Amino acid sequence: GDSVTQMEGPVTLSEEAFLTINCTYTATGYPSLFWYVQYPGEGLQLLLKATKADDKGSNKGFEATYRKETTSFHLEKGSVQVSDSAVYFCALSDNNDMRFGAGTRLTVKP
Amino acid sequence: EAQVTQNPRYLITVTGKKLTVTCSQNMNHEYMSWYRQDPGLGLRQIYYSMNVEVTDKGDVPEGYKVSRKEKRNFPLILESPSPNQTSLYFCASSDWTSGSNIQYFGAGTRLSVL
């Protein structure tokens, strides 16, 4: 079945550092890909999405490109802030099937 | 304000005592779903519903029941809770028919079964 694998955390960075969180997927069809963010004590909320190959999703300085050839959707941000500290989930949607990665906890220190 | 509301936010109970976690959405979404979140495992789907009176099992349905009598509500029922159901639970909804597949999540219910 479909699945999502993302890099294990936790990830600790200093403010203004570059962020990459790796995500790869396995799917039989042509899924939509997502990054969700979970701030402490809250539910998940959509950060960005991409629906087809080579699409780039972006929001709040975060970016991810749908790479069909490498089945990847890595999350990047050029300069992280303390307020970016959260848990990040990669996810895919393929017809009725929704799959999440295990989550990566990011801590940004001042 | 568009939202998914879960209640209660926190719940401590004992083994075998039936409980219900409520979920309500005000976005007129057809699709609703329940997940549990456990450390290192991410979110795993328990049950989902494509519309009123239509429910299907997710990956970890054992020990849970759901119902979808109205479009806005999707309660999660634990008939006889056990300690391995101690977890953080999330309800979500989405406008599946539009093809967006974006899920909107509630704030979560932290359940402890003693």
The predicted structure's pLDDT at residue A11: 96
A34: chain B residues, CB-CB within 8 Å: 101-102
Query: B-chain residues within 8 Å CB-CB of A59?
Result: none
For residue range A30-45, list pLDDT tens digits in order. Answer: 899 999 999 988 899 9
Mean pLDDT value across residues A3-17 = 93
Residue of chain A whose alpha carbon sits nearest to that of B96: A96
Q: What is the pLDDT of residue A30?
A: 86
Query: In Å, what is the CA distance from A91 to each residue of A37, B5, B17?
Result: 11, 22, 34
- The string of DSSP codes covering B9-28 is SEEEE-TT--EEEEEEESS-
Q: Give the model's pLDDT for residue A9.
A: 83
Compute chain A's Rg from CA coordinates: 13
| DSSP β-ladder status, A75-77 and B42-51 | unpaired
A28: left (phi over 0), alpha (psi -120 to 50) or beta: alpha
Q: Look up residue B56 and give its two tokens.
A: 């299907």
Measured CA to CA in angstroms, residue A92 lies from A1, A14, A89, A109, B69 at distances of 12, 29, 10, 30, 28
Percent of chain A residues past pLDDT 90, beyond the cut: 83
Q: Are B89 and B36 in contact (CB under 8 A)?
A: yes
- Please report which confidence band the pLDDT of residue A2 belongs to, taking 50, 70 and 90 as the band edges: confident
Cβ distance of A42 and B108 shorter than 8 Å: yes
Does A93 contact B50 at a Cβ distance shorter than 8 Å? no
45-104 of A, contacting B, C-beta below 8 A: 45-46, 49, 89, 93, 96, 98, 100-103
Which residue in this structure is represented by tokens 């494509």? B50
CA-nearest of B19, B111, B20, B113 to B74 is B20
pLDDT in tens, chain B (114 residues): 889 999 999 999 999 999 999 999 999 999 999 999 998 888 999 999 999 999 999 999 999 999 999 999 999 999 999 999 999 999 999 987 777 788 999 999 999 999
pLDDT band at A28 (very low <50, low <70, confident <90, very high): confident
- Structure tokens belonging to residue B43: 């979110």
What residues of chain A, 16 to 35, have a C-beta less than 8 Å from chain B?
32, 34
| Cα dihedral value B102, A88, A72, A18, nearest 10 | 130
